[in-house]
Chain A
Amino acid sequence: MSKKVLVLAETREGALRNVSFEAIAAAKQISGGGEVVAVLLGDSVSEFGAELVNCGADRVITVEHPHLKSYTSDGYGQAFMAVIEQENPEGIVFGHTAVGKDLSPKIASKLQAGLISDVTTIEGEGEDAVFVRPIYSGKAFEKKTIKEGITFVTVRPNNIAPLPREERSGEVSSLVVDITNLRTIISNVVRKSAEGVDLSEAKVIVAGGRGVKSADGFAPLQELANLLGGAVGASRGACDADYVDYSLQIGQTGKVVTPDLYIAAGISGAIQHLAGMSNSKVIVAINKDPEANIFKVADYGIVGDLFEVVPMLTEEFRKVM
């Protein structure tokens, strides 16, 4: 049986997030030849409709309201439930993002539905879809299915390949929803994350730990990241020591990332850090301690002083790129 699957599309800094394209690909697989309907919520979002269609959505529904400018679980909850009532979907896919993590359990609860969170792989399609997700801080995996009711999942960014973009046509319609009684008022958002590259979507990450020893120590890491078109990340150790802002933290508490290349410099490899990066495709560890735990998950390791190794690596890449 083919399914109608809703996708919550998200924007950030005036552009659609990659995870939304990945969620559309996941929805396509779950739909088993059915229909994928992307949902955009915000104060002014209809301009993104066409791009979602080109990325695989069959239709797009927008709900625009001044109360949807900032995310609140009440506002988004009311809007998304109204879309569900209109569409009666058999599946829902969210990104496993701040918004997706916060909203999905509420929607699942309202639907008295199961929810499989933080999916990294989908095997099979349609009725036969099986969902793989990491458990135990990434030390193990489980395969899950929905027993009854709607198929509702959140997908971890950077794990499911988006569909190829192509010029397509699809309806972009709007739904009017009365958003009332918001119990949360957002007074301010202090932006700490760097403009531009979104860590959870970066293809290359150069991450530093307590071994980087100072804020200035991050400069050579930044240089390497810039050269490779990537972003700088950090361990909790480096954030706690004030070398970089917490917004760069990778791990269980921080961002969960799955880049093609993760270079860890001066990071010991605590389980809480590994939980955020062990799914990376290729991991390089640079650490002066040959016994450091990070070498256990690394594909390639250099035992040495990061202050020597990182600049040499930048030089070497510069020669060949």
Chain B
Amino acid sequence: MNIYVLVKRTFDTEEKLVISNGKIQEDGAEFIINPYDEYAIEEAITVRDAHGGEVTVITIGGEEAEKQLRTALAMGADKAVLINTEDDLDEMDQYTTAYILAEYLRDKNPDLILAGNVAIDGGSGQVGPRVADLLGINYVTTITNLQIEGTNVKIVRDIEGDAEELETSLPLLVTAQQGLNEPRYPSLPGIMKAKKKPLEEIEIDDLDIDEEDVEPKTETLEIYMPPKKAAGRILEGDLATQVSELVGLLRNEAKVI
């Protein structure tokens, strides 16, 4: 089976976020594989181990994204592709990202493409379904279970807490929801092997894409921190006093009850 995983290098949002000059400060920040993409990688490896074939992880980004690709290879992916846009594109949006990924995948005849349901930094959840639409294949989002038999696919997906069971077929793009699996940690031998696995680096030129083709359709005017909330009030005194004070505050100050 010909399996592709879309992987995004993301800022670790568990870490402190600093904005200066209207930009997220990246120096010294922690970067990780988008957590939902880890579920996608794990599932891809499981499917390959059960059905044979090859797992290729792809990312669009700069040179530094090699680190996340190596981690995916260490988990067990077979090949990695970095589409390096550093020299060509200053501005991108989900339209751009999906366009480039679809152009790369167009002649690869993927049976199964896996993505995360959402990136924890950009947070739009658009890229997976957009790529599927551009390739003309079906997609299913926020999946929590995947069973493949031949070209038949049985899926359970999370829809706002309810579990929807459905049937579809390959070729297919799915996006991973938490609960799909427990991603493995790269093992030491895995890490050693990953160093020798193929990691191809290409640019949009290699895909016959012109800058004009992928001009973003949206514009970001400003990035900012939410206005600092006044420090919360930790109530004091004996518990009964605190509780009656809280009820008073919610009714008279916050006026929410």
Report whether B233 and A299 are in contact in the complex, using a CB–CB cutoff of 8 Å.
Answer: yes
One of A45-53, A84-92, A180-188, A208-216 contacting the partner = A180-188
Picked from A261, A300, A309, the residue with its CB within 8 Å of the CB of B233 is A300
Output the least CB separation between A77 and chain B (Å).
8
Cα–Cα, bound, A183→B128 (Å) = 17
Output the least CB separation between B82 and chain A (Å).
23
Known: A106-B129, A185-B167, A252-B120. A247 touches B219 (CB 8 A): no
Name the B residues within 8 Å of A247 (CB-CB).
160-162
Name the A residues within 8 Å of B234 (CB-CB).
290, 295, 301-303
Name the A residues within 8 Å of B239 (CB-CB).
302, 304, 308-309, 312
Picked from A108, A252, A282, A302, the residue with its CB within 8 Å of the CB of B243 is A302
Picked from B120, B126, B158, the residue with its CB within 8 Å of the CB of A105 is B126
The answer, yes or no, to whether A167 is at the interface (CB within 8 Å) is no
The answer, yes or no, to whether A193 is at the interface (CB within 8 Å) is yes
Instruction: Fill in one digit per residue for B89-114: 1 if any A CB lies within 8 Å of its CB, else 0.
Output: 00001110010000000000000000
The 26 listed contacts between A and B (C-beta, < 8 Å) are A73-B129, A98-B160, A102-B129, A105-B125, A106-B130, A108-B95, A112-B217, A113-B217, A114-B95, A116-B218, A135-B123, A141-B226, A142-B221, A143-B220, A147-B217, A184-B138, A185-B167, A189-B163, A260-B256, A261-B250, A261-B257, A295-B232, A295-B234, A309-B239, A309-B243, A321-B257
The answer, yes or no, to whether B164 is at the interface (CB within 8 Å) is yes
Known: A144-B221, A302-B235. A313 touches B247 (CB 8 A): yes
Total number of A residues with any Cβ neighbor in B under 8 Å: 90
Name the B residues within 8 Å of A290 (CB-CB).
234
Name the B residues within 8 Å of A193 (CB-CB).
160-162
Name the A residues within 8 Å of B249 (CB-CB).
300
Closest to A252 in B: B120
Output the least CB separation between B100 and chain A (Å).
13
Output the least CB separation between A298 and chain B (Å).
4
> Which 6 interchain pairs have the tightest Cβ spacing?
A247-B161, A114-B217, A105-B129, A109-B133, A114-B218, A137-B13
Instruction: Fill in one digit per residue for B137-177: 1 if any A CB lies within 8 Å of its CB, else 0.
Output: 01111100000000000000011111111111100000001
Cα–Cα, bound, A180→B185 (Å) = 44
Cα–Cα, bound, A319→B174 (Å) = 52
Known interface pairs A136-B13, A300-B235; 8 further A-B residue pairs with C-beta atoms within 8 A, sorted by A's residue number: A117-B123, A136-B123, A140-B19, A142-B224, A191-B162, A253-B178, A283-B232, A321-B257
Report whether B24 and A140 are in contact in the complex, using a CB–CB cutoff of 8 Å.
Answer: yes
The answer, yes or no, to whether A68 is at the interface (CB within 8 Å) is no
Tell me the A274-307 residues at the B interface (CB within 8 Å): 275, 281-285, 290, 295-304
Tell me the B212-257 residues at the A interface (CB within 8 Å): 215-226, 229, 232-235, 239-240, 242-244, 246-247, 249-251, 254, 256-257
Name the B residues within 8 Å of A108 (CB-CB).
95, 126, 130
Report whether A284 and B160 are in contact in the complex, using a CB–CB cutoff of 8 Å.
Answer: no
Report whether A74 and B138 are in contact in the complex, using a CB–CB cutoff of 8 Å.
Answer: yes
Known: A300-B249, A312-B243. A106 touches B232 (CB 8 A): no
Tell me the A50-69 residues at the B interface (CB within 8 Å): none
Name the B residues within 8 Å of A320 (CB-CB).
247, 251
The answer, yes or no, to whether B14 is at the interface (CB within 8 Å) is yes
Output the least CB separation between B102 and chain A (Å).
9
Cα–Cα, bound, A115→B122 (Å) = 13
Cα–Cα, bound, A188→B226 (Å) = 41
The answer, yes or no, to whether B1 is at the interface (CB within 8 Å) is no
Report whether B217 and A135 are in contact in the complex, using a CB–CB cutoff of 8 Å.
Answer: no
The answer, yes or no, to whether A145 is at the interface (CB within 8 Å) is yes
Name the B residues within 8 Å of A101 (CB-CB).
125, 141
Cα–Cα, bound, A245→B140 (Å) = 23
Picked from B134, B139, B226, B254, the residue with its CB within 8 Å of the CB of A140 is B226
The answer, yes or no, to whether A246 is at the interface (CB within 8 Å) is yes
Output the least CB separation between A268 and chain B (Å).
12
Name the A residues within 8 Å of B226 (CB-CB).
140-141
Known: A137-B13, A228-B257, A295-B234. A192 touches B124 (CB 8 A): no
Closest to A187 in B: B165
Report whether B165 and A134 are in contact in the complex, using a CB–CB cutoff of 8 Å.
Answer: no
Name the B residues within 8 Å of A186 (CB-CB).
164-166
Closest to A262 in B: B256
